[in-house]
Amino acid sequence: MRALVITGPHRAEVQDVAPPTAAPGEVVVDVKRAGICGTDIELFTGEMAYYHSGHTTFPVRIGHEWMGVVSRIGDGVDASWLGARVTGDTMLGCGECRRCRSGLQHVCETRGELGIRDGRPGALAEQVAVPVTSLHRLPDTVDDAMSAMVEPGGNAYRSVEAANLRPGDRCLVLGPGTIGLLCGLFARAAGAEVHLLGRSERSLAFARTIGFDNVWTEETLPDLPWDAVIEASNAQHLPAKALELVEPGRRVVYVGLAGSASLIDTRELALKDVTAVGVLSASPGLAGTINAYAAGGVDPRPLIAATVSLEELPRILAEGRPDTAGPGPKFHVAIGR
């Protein structure tokens, strides 16, 4: 089958590789659509921290935002999964440790990460093998484009859930990339007044086109009380800024990751009686995201700038956004025939 393979820093190609098999408890999915995110870019450039920790080595087969149709099942898997439209969790816990047994498999010490850590080839391929326990069925009301946005949506869903917003609250989202914009969409669906803070005029202009009127830079941000601040950027200084801006007694949510350590003053955290929440993964938010998409409360499709073929992807990874792409931050790859 065809699969994207990153062979070294800044080197990727589509190769013919052996198709996966359905091991006991697993299924093989015919991938129809997959997304590209910032983690995938870091895996391509060699900047991903997992290379330094030894969790990931070249060659790498990426792809953790995906949807498809189950085509084969392994021993012990119910036959009702055959033909099902599905997406799946990225974080694959061992299933036996204390964290997994308490429902925290996404922070399992020995977890696999589909398309990110060694051992689990990703979904930028014609087929992918995954444990049946990681699957989520997709209703017909959630089309293929929306379905491949469930994983990033789950991160945003959890972030907004952690912000504990009430209707009429004022929420500030730092970083209008894919996750930040999705946070804005979920916060707006929760009845909050949403503001976005960004840096590039292109990203801020795009945010306006999808209905966000309150978009600012650090220089233009108004002096307002912020009931929740969601930090979704990769800027080293903004985690501290989020804590500075949030109202006492309210919540700051950290879902963005900078390339180097960010510092906050825990004295300010304590003296303001602020609750700070970190969000690692979409795992506990996947079902809620699917339901929100199905109900029509959140539509992630305007964020998709282009849908390209698997063969086009190595050039796009190397050269960046093509001139023909739309203004959104997300790229999708159509794989299934």
pLDDT of residue 259: 84
- With a cut of 90, say whether residue 337 has pLDDT above it: no
Please tell me the distance from the alpha carbon of residue 303 to that of residue 315, in angstroms, as a whole number: 21
Mean pLDDT of 52-57: 94
Place of tokens 């033909």: 83
pLDDT one-digit tens code per residue, 177-207: 999 999 999 999 999 999 999 999 999 999 9
Q: What is the CATH number of domain 2-149+300-334?
A: 3.90.180.10
Mean pLDDT of 66-79: 98
Are residues 333 and 310 in contact, defined by beta-carbon separation less than 8 angstroms? yes
Are residues 33 and 144 in contact, defined by beta-carbon separation less than 8 angstroms? yes
pLDDT one-digit tens code per residue, 277-315: 999 999 999 999 999 999 999 999 999 999 999 999 999
Token pair in block for residue 100:
């997994």
For 181, half-sphere exposure in the C-beta direction (CA atoms, 13 angstrom radius) is 25
Token pair in block for residue 147:
């379905």
pLDDT one-digit tens code per residue, 92-104: 999 999 999 999 9
Report the alpha-carbon angle 229-146-167, nearest 5: 35
The answer to whether 2-149+300-334 and 153-278 have equal CATH topology is no
pLDDT one-digit tens code per residue, 10-39: 999 999 999 999 999 999 999 999 999 999
Task: Specify the CATH architecture of the domain 153-278.
Answer: 3-Layer(aba) Sandwich (3.40)
The overall average pLDDT reported for the chain is 96
pTM (2 d.p.):
0.96
Closest residue by Cα to residue 156 from 284, 259, 304: 284
- With a cut of 70, say whether residue 88 has pLDDT above it: yes
- Report domain extents, the chain: 2-149+300-334, 153-278
Residues 6+ apart with CB under 8 A from 55: 113, 117, 118
Mean pLDDT of 169-174: 98
Sign of the alpha-carbon dihedral angle for 159, 133, 43, 85: negative
